[in-house]
Homo-oligomer: A and B are copies of this chain.
């Protein structure tokens, strides 16, 4: 039982049937076909030789299959993390060099250690730092950056990537006259085929009478077909050399060797912020995909187990020539739709990819880079979500602005600073809003025990009694504001001798809120006004009692309801003012 909690695959395999095995087998095959071109492309995007994409798809995939709490999440190289990896490593080493590959493994190790540590500390909540608008803006912004990074392959240009996206764009613009037309044509053809392979092909297949699910699967396999055809055209007919198309080129066949990454403390120090950002982004993407797919079958995922499993997957990549991995959206959806039932699908897929790395590596030597770039562009272009920007803007200006600023930050400053800026802006926006809670002066609706806002309703009030409802938790972000606002209300009600704070909207109170209440009581007392509380919720009352605030409040009282407060206080003239 205990082992099954830490190794979810054991639990998932209970009552494993032949049908489950068939589902896992088909899914493994489909995912492998789809993964291979993607993995190669993302390795190149990360600045690594293509074969590292295969390496990163073997051990990490298998480890997650055993340890992951999601049955269908497919872990491996993903576009955003590849981009973040490139951005972290490029200042430290030359892309493609052995030092660069060593640093990529070190980065994966750091991501693994950070994730594992957060998982063991059950600190999955740190992912809440990435609010929805920040994640949406980050994904859209980095997808645009990825598309930008692929344009040189589409145009057949040899230009250096700038440190910031706008530098890359400037380099591209400057080199535009040297565009290689055949490359551009090949890329355009590939993009057209890939776009047609989506909804149009799916609809066509469905109209021929294929089942919905089969049509979907076939259309999902179309990219592999396009890649395969382009390899055939280049390999068999020598189209690449005839037209001057650049190809991926030969890479060594075989499995990655197992080796610990070199522990260079200087490099660890400079990679740490990037590792933190990659760990967070990878975790958030992975968990949200896992949660969405799990919900479809009523399966739960355990956020802390996910952190641990992703950590272990990254560590597995770090010792086997990988780079940072995560649960990818498109690969997981394919795995799910192809019928995967358990992590065995991932284990099988890892085995198939290992076979490809051993036996079929040299076929990929003929793969045109323009075609690979086209698959990347078509894949990530679905992640550019400007409708979400519009929706957020309509929902609340501040949140739309937050998403827009995160996109701009990613485009202007690059992925790491972009995500950092998003987190900081997110917290700032939250504090700004939480620091100005809604306060309502209330009065009694005549003939009832209901109390409503005096500004909106025709209600009964008493000159010596000020009733104020606070619609927010009292905590450090708003404690001073509430104290100031209550003093201001009192200045507008000079005859008031009792201030009743109605806490029906207060779910919690922290030490700053308690401190402000104490200051408020003292300030009111020196002006001859008594503070009372009403409608205090259980957990808040517990906290106040622990701090001895009930005693401190005397002669002020805690009333069960506002009605009882009014009954007790309306005839009471209050104490004499202690002010001069």
Contacts and interface: CB of A to CB of B under 8 A. Distances in A.
B480 A519 contact: no
Given A125-B477, A132-B476, A511-B132, A488 B300 contact: yes
9 contacts: A129-B431, A132-B510, A133-B512, A295-B524, A303-B480, A395-B511, A399-B511, A472-B473, A473-B473
A555 interface: no
A122 to B, nearest CB: 10
B295 A547 contact: no
A507 B125 CA distance: 21
Interface stretch (A25-33, A324-332, A375-383, A432-440): A432-440
A546 interface: yes
Contact of A128 (B295, B426, B476, B490): B476
Contacts of A526: 295-297
Interface string A7-40: 0000000000000000000000000000000000
Nearest to A392: B511
B132 A479 contact: yes
Contacts of A292: 519, 522-523
A516 to B, nearest CB: 8
Contacts of A472: 473, 507-508
A403 to B, nearest CB: 8
A478 B519 contact: no
Given A392-B511, A396-B546, A511-B133, A523 B296 contact: yes
Interface string A430-461: 11110111100000000000000000000000
A295 B395 contact: no
Q: Pick the 4 closest A-B CB pairs, nearest first.
A: A295-B523, A131-B476, A132-B512, A125-B435
A428 B437 CA distance: 21
A579 B438 contact: no
B480 A298 contact: no
A128 B394 contact: no
Interface string A274-311: 00000000000001100110111110110100000000
Given A296-B526, A480-B127, A488-B300, A394 B547 contact: yes
A201 to B, nearest CB: 25
Contact of A396 (B391, B435, B490, B543): B543
A484 interface: yes
Contacts of A395: 511, 514, 543, 546-547
